[in-house]
Amino acid sequence: MKIFKLNFILLFLLIFFGCGTTVPKISNLQDKVKLESAVEKAPNPEGLRHFMDGQMMMNQGDFSMAILEFQQSLELDPGVGAIHTSIAESFWNLGKPDMAEKHLNIAIGLDPSDEQALQMLADQYILQKKYEAAQQPFTQLNKLKPDDVKYIIALAELEKVKRNFSGAGKLYLEAFELEPSRLDLLETSGRLAHQNKDYIQAQSVFKRLTFLDPDQPKYMGMYIDLIMNSKNYQEGIDVLKSMNVEYGESPDRMAQMGLLMYRAGQKEEALSLLETAIEATPKNPNYYFPLFDLYMDENNHENASKVADKLVSNFPEDWRGYYSRSLVYLEDKKPEHVISILEPVSDTFNKIYSIQYLLGLSHNQLKQFDDARRYFSRALTIRPDSPNVLHSMAILYDEVKEWEKSDEIYLRLINTDSTDAQAFNNYAYSLVERNHELKRALTLAKKAITLEPENASYLDTIGWIYFKLDNHGKAREYIESSIKINGENAIVLEHLGDVLMKFQKTEDALDFYKRALSLDKDNTRLINKVSPE
């Protein structure tokens, strides 16, 4: 239980006014009235003694005896709020919050501006998780002391509990205006705006923070992320230029400006700034990543590889270098190279999700399913609900025909997120490939198409289900729509060939088989279809 501290200033005043024996000289009738009023308000000496004894008992932890003393004090001095507050404190420590609340409310009723009683009541409500009830005493405290930020922060936290992030953010902003040295209050306001998806307000707050503390990278990083999200690149560029004028150039601002300029289409200036930032501070790995991203966006894998290789050699303790190099290998369809660079450091970075996931993905592409399963399991240990890992594991189980496990994962994904179009589609395709529950597969495929009607893979899935259901007209319609969107998928081209064979369009079917074979040259099934003799 929390033990509240007595306001000893009040006690001192009671003793001072209650025990004095000197009678002042009365100069006129008005002074006499004032003196008589003061005497009437002076505490009863016997009541004060019981109050002091109660305080001593409470300090010794004997709260039951303290309450008895306070009650005797209250009989002699009724209507004294401080006595009710002390009784409340004792009841609270005895584990009787209802009785404590009763006496605190009496104290507040006697004096609505009793800060100690209001604070104690608010604290009790918070400890009991009665957040709605705590709102009133904190509001009253805020009215009594509008410049005390702790009460504004308390109200803001209560708004957060109610998930009123907008209201909480405004209160944190109000608190910051009272204490402008506390940037943490302004930061919290900005993060609440971001959580509330009020990106304009969040951007405004982090822009302000960026100027208030130009040496704090997290503020500028958050501001740049919001600029990227809004695609208002020129505003970000102008802000960074303004900061360079006011505070002088910094490699961090140069790197961020380079990234913004790249997004704004100013590619040459962007490259120059990013390269200059790296030259200025070659020992800071953070400036390499925007340059790497730029090269990857440009499909310039050669230069992206060079940047990643520098990261690996210069910063071997930083997992991001290995990860970046692996991304290039994956784009170049070289999963074996991903394994060669990541496997030696997989134990070192055994808590890094991305490293474990890429290893699982690469082994899976090479059909090394046991190794893939091991690394996927590691990744899942780090992020138990990762959709990427779950999707990948479901596909793996489909490959090894462990359908009970793949079905379990698909159902988990669908039940977790009813908008996961990939889960609906992959589950449908898994069912149709094993000729199992085709009507259910069709229902799942329709859901996927509803969520993403222009997805080429999903159009092929539903077309293939209709093919298996002998509805060749619909099968042709959907699969042809898929090929119009993406005509470079060997499986889809083969599917259309199979459909056309049902329409006895042998020559057209052979053309699609040949196109499929040009994309998947070692596929024996396609080889047989192209040259059946």
393 closest CA partner among 344, 419, 351, 356: 356
Provide the angle, in degrees to the nearest 10, between the axes of the packed helices 149-161 and 183-195.
20
Per-residue pLDDT tens for 147-178? 999 999 999 999 999 999 999 999 999 999 99
- Tell me if 1-145 shares its fold with 444-533: yes
3 state DSSP class of 313: helix
The least confident of 21-25, 270-274, 429-433 is 21-25
pLDDT at 25 over 50: no
530 closest CA partner among 489, 433, 488, 516: 516
For the record, the structure tokens of 115 come out as 């800060």
The DSSP call for residue 24 is P
State in words which class domain 444-533 has.
mainly alpha
**Out of 1.25.40.10, 3.30.460.80, 3.40.50.2300, 3.30.70.2190, which CATH number does the structure's domain 1-145 have?**
1.25.40.10
Per-residue pLDDT tens for 171-195? 999 999 999 999 999 999 999 999 9
How far apart CA 210 and CA 216 sit, in angstroms, is 7
3 state DSSP class of 16: helix
- Sorted by where each begins, the domain ranges of the chain are 1-145, 444-533
Cα–Cα distances (Å) from 133 to 101, 123, 126, 137, 175, in that order, read 11, 11, 9, 8, 22
How far apart CA 2 and CA 127 sit, in angstroms, is 9
How far apart CA 526 and CA 517 sit, in angstroms, is 6
Which pairs count as long-range contacts for 25-30, CB under 8 Å and 24+ apart, including other chains?
A: none
3 state DSSP class of 366: coil
8 A C-beta contact, residue 432 and residue 438:
yes
pLDDT of residue 3: 41
Per-residue pLDDT tens for 467-505? 999 999 999 999 999 999 999 999 999 999 999 999 999
Confidence of residue 70 (pLDDT cuts 50, 70, 90): confident
pLDDT of residue 42: 64
How far apart CA 401 and CA 436 sit, in angstroms, is 13
Per-residue pLDDT tens for 413-443? 999 999 999 999 999 999 999 999 999 999 9
pTM of the shown model: 0.63
